[in-house]
Amino acid sequence: MDRNRAYTEFHGFISHCVTNTFLMTVKEKLNTRKEQLERELKSFASRNPHASGHWEAKYVDFGRSEDENAAEVALYSDNLSLEHALEKEYRDVLNALSRITAGSYGNCRYCNQPIDEKRLLARPTSSACIACKVERKKAA
Ligand SMILES: [Zn+2]
């Protein structure tokens, strides 16, 4: 390889790394959140083997008395709503990670304009810019 070409490739590599610093930060945040969510979900739910990113709250059996049955159902319904909230966030995180892989991360899904980096750092799963978010809230 001649020296000029090595030089150009090296500098291309450096500038590539600089533009990727922001994405690396966001990716790290997303992966940390993904692990937290998996830990929380695992504590009371199990992965649905048929649907990736889906979980099922476990039904815990306390016993056979009416009180125990009532307590089981109450716990299960609490776990079910918690599971739905965590699972939704978990899928948002997975989607954001796959947008990074696909190279489309950081663009608004409605107007395709770049989303403010401060917004993405505060909420890395954002897929819409603030203007579009406000617009959609008004329409809803
Ligand atoms: Zn937008």
Q: Give me ligand 1 centre to Cα 108, in Å.
A: 5
Contact (Cβ atoms closer than 8 angstroms) between residue 115 and residue 108: yes
Other CB atoms closer than 10 Å to residue 84's CB: what's the count? 12
Q: Give me ligand 1 centre to Cα 6, in Å.
A: 40
Q: Give me ligand 1 centre to Cα 121, in Å.
A: 17
Measured between alpha carbons, how far is 116 from 126 in angstroms, rounded to an integer?
10
Q: Give me ligand 1 centre to Cα 107, in Å.
A: 8
Other CB atoms closer than 10 Å to residue 45's CB: what's the count? 19
Q: Give me ligand 1 centre to Cα 44, in Å.
A: 37
Residue 15: band (very low, low, confident or very high) from pLDDT cuts 50, 70, 90: very low
Report helix, strand or coil for 23: helix
Q: Give me ligand 1 centre to Cα 89, in Å.
A: 21
Q: Give me ligand 1 centre to Cα 82, in Å.
A: 30
Q: Give me ligand 1 centre to Cα 32, in Å.
A: 27
Measured between alpha carbons, how far is 110 from 108 in angstroms, rounded to an integer?
5
Measured between alpha carbons, how far is 3 from 16 in angstroms, rounded to an integer?
20
The model's pTM is 0.78
Residue 65: band (very low, low, confident or very high) from pLDDT cuts 50, 70, 90: very high
Q: pLDDT tens-digit profile of 81-112? A: 999 999 999 999 999 999 999 988 999 999 99
Residue with tokens 């203007």: 131
